[in-house]
Chains A and B, each alone.
Chain A
C-alpha cells in the first residue's frame, strides 16, 4: 500500500475537472436520451408529448429498423472476424526475429493512422465504376460487371472490406504488444520438445494471447457499431436503398435529418443496452484474468 498524503480536500479538487466533464457532457445527456425516448415532439416542434413505450414499439415493428439491425450485425460479425483473424495471423508472423521485419511492422500498422472517413474515400475509389482497380480486375478476370452503387450486396461487401482494412493496423498494434508479454523461454522449450510451429501456436500462443484477443473483440465490436459513421457517410450514405444503413447511420438520419427526436432517442437507448452488455462482459472477463494471476 502506498504511503498517503494526509490531505482531506485535495483528492476532491483533483477529481473535480474529470467528474464535472463526465456528469455534464456524458451522464446528464444520456439520462435526457432516456427521458426523450418516452416523448414525441409536437408537430410545431414547440413541446413534448408523452407517448409511453410508443417509440420502442415503433422500433421493433419497423421493418426499416429491423433491416438496419440485421445489416449492422452482419457488418459487425464480418468486420470482427476478418480483423481479428488476419490481425492475429499477421502479428504472429511479424513477431518473429527476422531481418527487415521492423519495416514491415511499421507499414502494417499504417492504417491505424487513417480515419474511417479517409478509408472510406480510398475504398470508394478502389471500387469506383469508372476508375476502380477492383472493378477493372473483376471485369478482366470474371467478365463481371459489378457496380456497388447499384447493387446493395456488393455495397455491403465493400464497406466491410474498407472497415476491416482500416482496423487492421489497430489490431496488429495490440496483438504485437500482447505477443511481447509471452515469455520467449516457453516458446523455445516447446520448440526443443519438437512441437511444430502450428502446434506451438495453438498450444501456447493462442491461449496466452486470449486476454488481448478478448479486449480487441470488444474494441472491434464498438468500432463496428459506432466509429464507422464517417466511412458509411462517405462511401454509401447508407445506400443503395437501405443496404448499408447501419444503426448509427439510421440514428443520425432520424435525429438530425428527419428531426424525429423521440424515435432517435429510443434508438440511442437500444445502443446503450448493447454497450452495457459488452461492458459487463469485459469486466467479468477482466476479473477472470486477475484470477489467473
Chain B
C-alpha cells in the first residue's frame, strides 16, 4: 500500500512521542536504581543514571532474601503453567475425540465456569479450605488451586477440532491407542499454542499478589511481588526509592525474558484463535 510521505512522518512522530511517554517511567525507575541516597532525593530530579547500581541491587537482594523469593516465584509460575497446559490438553482431547459421551456438555460448562469465578469472589472460603487441608504457607496452596484453565481448554479444543480427521483415522488403523495419538500427534502439533499459553500463565502467576499475600506467612515462602511490598514497608518513614526500584527492576526481568522469547508465538497463537 502506498502512503504519502507526510502520513508516514506523522506516524513515526506520534509513535515516537507515545513511546517516550510510555517507556519513561521504566527508564526513570532504572535510573533511580543507580542513585545513591543524596541523588535519589535531589529536587529537581536527576534523569541521568549514576554509578551506585551495584550497591542498591545488593542491598535490595539481601534485605528481602531475593534469591529465595525468585526461586519461589519461578517454581510456582512454571509449575502452574505446565499443569494448566497439561490438564487443559487432556480435557480438550476428551471433548474432541470421544463423540458425545454422557455428561459431556455438563463437564464443559463446569470447566468454562472457571471464567466466572475470579479469586476475590471466593477468597474467604478458599482460605478456610487451605486451613482445613493444612496447606497454609505451602507450595500446594500457591499452585494446586490454580490448575484448571478454561482458556487453555477452549484454545486446545479449537485447535484439535481443526486437525484433519485423516490423522486420527490413520492412527487407529495403525492400532495406536488414543493416548499415543495425543502424545505423538496432537501435542507436537500444538507447539504454538503451548508457547502462547505458557507465556500467559507464567506471567499471570509471576504477577499474582493477593493470594500469596494471604496464604503465606513466613519470609521463606514469600514471592517476588510481596518482596517489593516488604521493601516499601521496611522504609515506612521515607521511602528509599533507589533500593525499592532496584528490587522492582529485578522483579520485572523474568516475565520480560518470557515475553521476548514468546512474543511471536503469542501473536500467532491469538490471531489463530480470533479467526475461528
Contact = CB atoms under 8 A, between A and B. Distances in A.
Interface of A: 1-5, 7-8, 10-12, 14-15, 17-19, 21-30, 32-33, 36, 86, 90, 93-94, 96-98, 101, 104, 106-118, 121-126, 128, 130-133, 136, 140, 165, 168, 173-174, 176-178, 180-181, 184, 187-188, 191, 197, 211-212, 222, 226, 229-230, 233-234, 248, 251-252, 255-256, 261, 264-265, 268-269, 271-272, 275-276, 279
B114 interface: yes
B116 interface: yes
Given A19-B111, A30-B125, A131-B41, 13 more contacts: A3-B165, A3-B169, A5-B172, A12-B101, A19-B110, A22-B148, A90-B15, A90-B18, A106-B263, A125-B25, A140-B44, A265-B125, A268-B124
A118 B251 contact: yes
Contact of A109 (B45, B161, B263): B263
B12 A98 contact: yes
Contact of A197 (B7, B124, B232): B7
A105 B103 CA distance: 45
Nearest to B274: A181
Contacts of B115: 279
B183 interface: no
19 contacts: A5-B97, A7-B178, A11-B98, A30-B121, A30-B122, A86-B18, A96-B3, A108-B18, A113-B258, A115-B206, A115-B209, A122-B245, A125-B25, A125-B28, A131-B241, A136-B43, A168-B22, A174-B270, A226-B120
Interface of A is mostly: helix
Contacts of A275: 116-118, 121
B67 interface: no
Given A112-B203, A113-B203, A104 B15 contact: yes
B111 A33 contact: no
A4 B145 contact: no
B1 A188 contact: yes
A131 B35 CA distance: 12
B90 A15 contact: yes
B119 interface: yes
Contacts of A173: 266-267, 270
B153 interface: yes
Given A165-B22, A176-B267, A26 B114 contact: yes
A81 B43 CA distance: 34
A113 B257 CA distance: 9
B94 interface: yes
A-B residue pairs, 3 tightest by C-beta: A115-B207, A230-B209, A32-B125
B105 to A, nearest CB: 12
Contacts of B122: 26, 29-30, 32-33, 268
Contacts of A269: 121
A98 B10 CA distance: 12
Contacts of A123: 25
